[in-house]
Structure 1
Amino acid sequence: MKDLFLQAMRRRFACKVFDSSKSIKEEDFEAILESARLTPSSFGLEPTRILVIKNQKLRQEIQPLCWNQKQITQADKLVILTSKTMDLLSQTHYTTKMFERKVGKDKQALIDYKDKRYKNFLESNGYCDCNSLYQWTSRQAYLMASSMINCASFLNIDSCPIEGFEKKALEKLLGLDPFVEQISLILTFGYHLETPSTKSQRLEKSELITYI
Structure 2
Amino acid sequence: MERKQLLLDAAHFRHATKAFDPDQKISEEDFSFLLEIARLSPSSIGLEPWKFVVVQNEAIRKELSTYSSGAVKQLETASHFVIILARNDARYDSAYAKHMMTNVKDMPEETFEQHIIPAYRTFQDVNINILDGDRTLFDWASKQTYIALGNMMSAAAGIGIDSCPIEGFHYEKVTSYLQQKGILKQDDPYDVSVMVAFGYRASEPKYPKVRQSQQEIIEWIE
| SS class of match (2:9) | helix
Deviation of 1:179 (Å): 6.8
Identity rate, percent:
32
Deviation of 1:200 (Å): 2.8
Match of 2:107 in 1: 104
2:172 is the alignment partner of 1:168: yes
Match of 2:194 in 1: 185
Match of 2:11 in 1: 9
Match of 1:64 in 2: 66
Whole-angstrom CA distance in 2 between matches of 1:76 and 1:179:
27
Give the conservation status (yes or no) of the 8 Å contact 2:54–2:82: yes
Q: Structure 1: give runs of 5+ residues left out of the alignment.
A: none
Question: Alignment partner for residue 142 of structure 2, among 138, 141, 161?
Answer: 138
> Aligned runs of 1:62-101 on 2, under 5 Å?
62-67=64-69, 69-86=72-89, 88-100=90-102, 101=104
Match of 1:31 in 2: 33
Bigger shift: residues 197-206 or 13-22: 197-206
Give the conservation status (yes or no) of the 8 Å contact 1:96–1:114: no
Question: Which one-letter code corresponds to 1:159 in the other structure?
Answer: S
* Equivalent residues, number: 210
Whole-angstrom CA distance in 2 between matches of 1:102 and 1:126:
25
Match of 1:211 in 2: 220
Q: Cα–Cα, structure 1 residues 113 and 98, in superposed 2: closer, same or farther, change >3 Å?
A: farther
Question: Alignment partner for residue 149 of structure 1, among 146, 153, 166?
Answer: 153
Whole-angstrom CA distance in 2 between matches of 1:14 and 1:174:
25
Deviation of 1:102 (Å): 4.4
| SS class of match (1:174) | helix
| SS class of match (1:70) | helix
Deviation of 1:178 (Å): 7.9
Q: Cα–Cα, structure 1 residues 98 and 37, in superposed 2: closer, same or farther, change >3 Å?
A: same
Deviation of 1:52 (Å): 0.3
Bigger shift: residues 159-168 or 96-105: 96-105
Whole-angstrom CA distance in 2 between matches of 1:113 and 1:53:
40
Whole-angstrom CA distance in 2 between matches of 1:37 and 1:102:
15
Deviation of 1:46 (Å): 0.1
TM-score, with structure 1 as normaliser: 0.94
In angstroms, what is the RMSD of aligned CA positions?
1.6
| SS class of match (2:156) | helix
Whole-angstrom CA distance in 1 between matches of 2:218 and 2:129:
30
Give the conservation status (yes or no) of the 8 Å contact 1:52–1:78: yes
Give the conservation status (yes or no) of the 8 Å contact 1:36–1:147: yes
